[in-house]
Amino acid sequence: MRNDILIDAVSVKNKIDTENVILLDTSWHLPTSDRNAKIDYENGHIENAYFFDIDAMSQPDAPFPHTMPSHDWFAEKMGSLGFSDQDHYILYDQSPLFSSARVWWMLKNFGANNVKILNGGLKAWTDAGFYLTDQAPASRNKVEFSLKNKEYSCIYYQDVHKALDQENIQILDARSSGRFSGSADEPRPGLSSGHMPGALNLPFNVLLDDNGYMKPASELEAIIADLGILKTNQIITTCGSGVTAAVIFLALTCLGYNDINLYDGSWTEWASTEKAPIIKG
């Protein structure tokens, strides 16, 4: 299992004051959670951590939630905040491991090559005995965020629709079993639940232990094997709006899978598209 992505709380503590290390609170909550990630951040965060607002860093005026922005727009936005593609990023969630996977995936797509995630999130930090602060870090001077060496693993509706009939492509859906089967409602009003034809259900929380840490490689491999997922196939990950799909993407990357793409519009786009096939049960 790759050990260059997930990082423990003690290692984060040792890197906080290191030059070119950017700590980002990447928290985001589902619309039904009654939580505000920015307010939670202001009430207490890791020292020197900046708040990364997923929605504010997404494509403006897009029809679906937190859509991936254009490369140039993202680079300009990051540079204006003082963040470079050459910086070393450490991400964490207020939830154990959730939206940090999405931001990790975004940064990798835009060319940041050194990005790590605090395994276990903010709880891992406080469980290690480290304190939180409500003091905002100092603003940073504008820099250049270069778009060199970017990798692109974002795909769209037409790509997924074409993949439905291809035996060498497997679609993994990170939503709950109820939403996947159609027996539970979607959190977004008016959106039908169900799943794409041929998709497999892999709820993202199955990949985490009871404390919110990514499970060890042996357990992840067993989960993947039980679903019949093959390393030789292309994998498409999806969810409700492209956030928890990144948790599956992260787990597979840690296991050494390479041919993975994330469906950015995910179920919000699929179920909103006329004539998109939806399976119940």
The continuous run of DSSP H or E covering 37 comes out as helix 37-43
**Cα Rg for the chain, rounded, in angstroms?**
18
Q: What pairs with residue 173 in β-bridges?
A: 201, 238
Rounded distance, CA 218 to CA 210, Å?
16
Could you tell me if residue 198 is left (phi over 0), alpha (psi between -120 and 50 degrees) or otherwise beta?
A: left
Rounded distance, CA 146 to CA 75, Å?
7
Rounded distance, CA 78 to CA 75, Å?
5
DSSP 3-state of 154 = strand
Active-site residue (options: 75, 207, 239, 245)? 239
Q: Which of 122, 258, 97, 223 is nearest to 249 (CA)?
A: 258
User: Do the Cβ atoms of 9 and 121 come closer than 8 Å?
Assistant: no
User: Do the Cβ atoms of 102 and 30 come closer than 8 Å?
Assistant: no
- Our answer to whether residue 239 is catalytic in this structure is yes
Phi, psi (rounded to 5 degrees) for 137: -70, 160
Question: Would strands 6-7 and 21-25 be described as parallel, antiparallel, or unpaired?
Answer: unpaired
Count the Cβ atoms, other than its own, within 10 Å of residue 126: 15
- CA torsion angle 32 34 35 39 (round to 10): 140
Rounded distance, CA 238 to CA 103, Å?
15
Query: Which of the residues are catalytic?
Result: 239
